[in-house]
Structure 1
Amino acid sequence: MDRRRVVITGLGAVTPIGLTALESWQAVKNGVCGVAPITQFDPSGMKVKLAAEVKGFEAETLLGRQEAKRMGRFTQFAVVAAREAISDAGFDIKNADPDRCGVIISSGIGGLSITEAEHDKGKEKGWDRVSPFYIPTGICNMAAGQVAIDHGFKGMCTCPVTACAGGTNAVGDAFHYIRDGYADVMLCGGTEASVTPLAIGGFTSMKALSQATDPNRASIPFDAERSGFVLGEGAGVLLLEELEHALARGAKIYAEITGYGATCDAYHMTAPLPDGSGGAKAMALALSDGQTAPDSVDYINAHGTSTHLNDAGETAAVKTVFGAHAYELAMSSTKSMTGHMLGAAGAVEAIFTALTLRDGFLPATINYQVKDEACDLDVVPGVGRNADVHYAMSNSLGFGGHNGSLLMKKWEA
């Protein structure tokens, strides 16, 4: 059977550097750092005092008081981003078959803040006094469910929970679902809202977070002085369509998704394989899936978390897959600006990758200063630049050994 082609026709995002996809992209172009002191709770007495929070998000204004009240923050982000993606695409469900329109939206942790608050209430007032909305607002899949309800998408609706790879898995799974004929339209992406005392404390105790006090030296992927990631939050949602479906309604097209690879290290709960071989296999699978030669890739939006193991391992993986071409392509980390948005990271980075292709602009790894010989590729240090980009890749590597890689192609009508 002929493979159906899949294109991106709508984008929506809520990030630490912007409240829409295009606002966030402009901030990327400007090299804006979204890392700042934590405001959602008082971190006094804690080792980590910085995060990449979403700023100026007013859920009641965007969603209405009653609707906002019945959603966790992670779901609010997703619903707002999905509405933007639908509007951006000019898509109307009335002109489509709702049974062939689906939703795949990941969240790594879901409503953790709701769990924390309801646990405190239960201990204080008794467990039977916990809110009846606790379960339906806190569970990870509710963002996907609420988005489907909001838009009347009646096809498959699911939520991959694969830690930091979740957003990439959601987009990749949606791509395959359309390509292989099961749907014509998919809303896909990821969402997260875990800047909470428990999450910060948990990541701190496992020595995953940077304890830097300078926002400009906290999330510094590939820099020799990197010391851990900075926790971020937000959502990214893409509208994917089968090409002929998109063309028939005159949709604008950002980019074409051509390949997807997913693997597992099967090695350790949190540490990646030191040689990056699991991530390398995911990249190789994406290239094979897209029937694309390695030397065709011009840019990689790296997972690039700013941890020693990830950045060195991912660099090794790129060298394994691309050989000498690894030194000719560019590979930067937009987590230097957004922090690590966990389950939303891969989706937001897929959006940035699509816009890289559209605009021919390579995002920088901002605040990069000190070279690490183990990370010696072109990380677009400091300032982004214009470039001719025809194929681009986006990587995500998650706790549990999950690896995901998306391959995209510049749209040329």
Structure 2
Amino acid sequence: MTEPIVEELVVIRGWGRISALGVASTPSATSPPPFTTHAASLPVAALPAAAEAALADLRRTVPAYRQLDRTVLLGLLAARQATAAAGWQANPTAPTTPLTVSIGSSRGATGLLEEFHADYLAEGTVPVAASPLTTLGNVASWVAFDAGSTNGAALSHSSTCSSAFQALGNAMAWLRAGMATRFLAGGTEAPLTDFTLAQMRAIGIYSPYAAAEWPCRPGAGKPSTFVLGEGAAVFALERVSRSSLHAEPLAKPVFVLESVGFGFEAIGSKTGLSPNGQHFQQAIRQALAQAQVTPAEVDAVVLHSPGTPAGDAAERAALHALFSPALPVLLSNKWLVGHTLGASAALSLDFALHVLATQQWPAAPFTTDLAARTEKPIRRILINAAGFGGNAASALVTML
């Protein structure tokens, strides 16, 4: 199929991330598992020491940051990397370009909210700052503040584990409509608290494997190997004309965010999904239709695949329904960073960009259907995300 020429493109000028891998996209092939054991005696994908130190340094840079939740600080770190990579740092002598911010998070200020609640149960009072520091809007507004945005909107999104793609989809809509020219969009989550881990354990999906045994195993079948992680990824998006890109000296690859599609299925159980992944099918079809490409033009899929047997199987059933007889290359980064809830889709997109740029990724050290390698060049990747309540989202990214 000959692709139509789209004059206006949404390009990813820069991006940043922080996760159990630190600020790297993937570990070296000889790295040990990036998992640790939480005080709750469960394996988790927590920040390594160097990333933890960077978070502590950030907290000290601005007095007001000392009171911020960990989720917000992770978002600030990733956003700073994205703006630096895009060359968007504030320049007092340059004209001000409006910058809009759109950040997704499933739980928001998880740790701080739990601390305030514990103090209330013990003391019967809460500080004045409790409400403004724990609203979901608190996440995007601080990212906008730190980025120096004074003339753009700050939007926060929460739709469980597809929250980051809700933020990316919103950003694309604004950019295409001409309501903005520059966007910081992504997701952030710091859910490694006793209470949140207890919630995941109560659902019955948590991995039985120890931290040193690669406990998160998407595509490996039974038992369920869900592992909670923390992290953030933020992308500097810009609407540009194709002609202007051709006029620039392209010293590095240009990544285009082609589409973000959404799906929903009304399931009675809010933790359930249909065996054939109807919400995935809807989201993928919408993403393909927006980008005006066929399934055959997708080279790889970064799966949502959290390591739960039912969820993994439903996503693959959806892919078989749309891509048969030959599936694209199947990839995942959750065995490296865990499931980061509202940040997971953003970190999956970050992983997709790494694959596009390097044509490489580490092979999973367990039996799975994830690809170890491919001889075919990868130029377009579909990224899936899904969450409680029957929602799903899919994004397409390509490299020019």
Q: TM-score, normalised by structure 2?
A: 0.89
Partner of 1:49: 42
Work out which of the residue numbers 369, 377, 397 in structure 2 matches 1:408: 397
Pairing 1:320–2:321 present: yes
Shift of 1:226: 3.7
Report Cα offsets for 1:313-369 as digits up to 9, x if no partner.
00001111112131xx211211011000000100111111122112222454x2322
Shift of 1:75: 0.4
CA pair 398-363 structure 1, distance change in 2 beyond 3 A: farther
- Aligned-partner SS, 1:155: coil
| 1:96-175 map, 5 Å | 97-99=96-98, 101-127=99-125, 130-153=126-149, 154-175=151-172
Shift of 1:288: 0.7
Give me the whole-angstrom Cα distance separating, in 1, the residues matched to 2:233 and 2:28. 15
Report Cα offsets for 1:263-291 as digits up to 9, x if no partner.
11121311121111210110111111100
Partner of 1:85: 82
CA contact (8 A) 2:26 2:361 kept: no
Give me the whole-angstrom Cα distance separating, in 2, the residues matched to 1:28 and 1:176. 37
CA pair 384-118 structure 1, distance change in 2 beyond 3 A: farther
Give me the whole-angstrom Cα distance separating, in 1, the residues matched to 2:206 and 2:28. 22
Give me the whole-angstrom Cα distance separating, in 2, the residues matched to 1:303 and 1:363. 17
CA contact (8 A) 1:396 1:404 kept: yes
Give me the whole-angstrom Cα distance separating, in 2, the residues matched to 1:172 and 1:360. 26
CA contact (8 A) 1:357 1:389 kept: yes
Give me the whole-angstrom Cα distance separating, in 2, the residues matched to 1:390 and 1:187. 24
Give, as a single letter, the amino acid of the residue that structure 2 aligns with 1:60: A
Shift of 1:232: 0.4
Give me the whole-angstrom Cα distance separating, in 2, the residues matched to 1:362 and 1:150. 33
Shift of 1:92: 3.6
Shift of 1:206: 1.4
CA contact (8 A) 1:334 1:363 kept: no
Shift of 1:26: 3.9
Give, as a single letter, the amino acid of the residue that structure 2 aligns with 1:51: V
What runs of 5+ residues in structure 2 fail to find an aligned partner?
1-5
Give me the whole-angstrom Cα distance separating, in 1, the residues matched to 2:95 and 2:28. 34
Partner of 1:358: 357
Computed over aligned residues only, the root mean square deviation of the Cα atoms, in angstroms, reads 2.4
Partner of 2:370: 379
| 1:301-320 map, 5 Å | 301-320=302-321
Pairing 1:337–2:333 present: no
Shift of 1:218: 1.7
Moved more, 118-127 or 317-326: 118-127
Pairing 1:199–2:196 present: yes
- Aligned-partner SS, 2:324: helix
Report Cα offsets for 1:365-385 as digits up to 9, x if no partner.
x2322x5xxxxxx511xx556
Give, as a single letter, the amino acid of the residue that structure 1 aligns with 2:35: V
Give me the whole-angstrom Cα distance separating, in 1, the residues matched to 2:206 and 2:381. 28
Give, as a single letter, the amino acid of the residue that structure 1 aligns with 2:359: G
Give me the whole-angstrom Cα distance separating, in 1, the residues matched to 2:295 and 2:256. 17
CA contact (8 A) 1:8 1:241 kept: yes
Aligned residue pairs, count: 385
Partner of 2:35: 35
Partner of 2:388: 399
Give me the whole-angstrom Cα distance separating, in 2, the residues matched to 1:31 and 1:296. 33
Shift of 1:167: 1.2
Shift of 1:172: 2.4
CA pair 29-321 structure 1, distance change in 2 beyond 3 A: farther
CA contact (8 A) 2:232 2:343 kept: yes
CA pair 30-324 structure 1, distance change in 2 beyond 3 A: farther
Report Cα offsets for 1:197-248 as digits up to 9, x if no partner.
1101111111132232254242001102341310000110010111249858
CA pair 115-293 structure 1, distance change in 2 beyond 3 A: same
Work out which of the residue numbers 61, 64, 67 in structure 1 matches 2:60: 64
Give, as a single letter, the amino acid of the residue that structure 2 aligns with 1:325: A
CA pair 263-182 structure 1, distance change in 2 beyond 3 A: same
Work out which of the residue numbers 2, 5, 11 in structure 1 matches 2:9: 5
CA pair 176-325 structure 1, distance change in 2 beyond 3 A: farther
Moved more, 174-183 or 261-270: 174-183
Shift of 1:29: 6.3
- Aligned-partner SS, 1:27: coil
Give the number of the structure whose residues are more often helix, by fraction. 1
Shift of 1:3: 6.1
Report Cα offsets for 1:26-77 as digits up to 9, x if no partner.
4176676322211xxx32xxxx521111122123313426243121000010
Report Cα offsets for 1:82-103 as digits up to 9, x if no partner.
011111111145446443x211
CA pair 239-250 structure 1, distance change in 2 beyond 3 A: farther
CA pair 160-121 structure 1, distance change in 2 beyond 3 A: same
- Aligned-partner SS, 1:241: strand
Shift of 1:133: 2.4
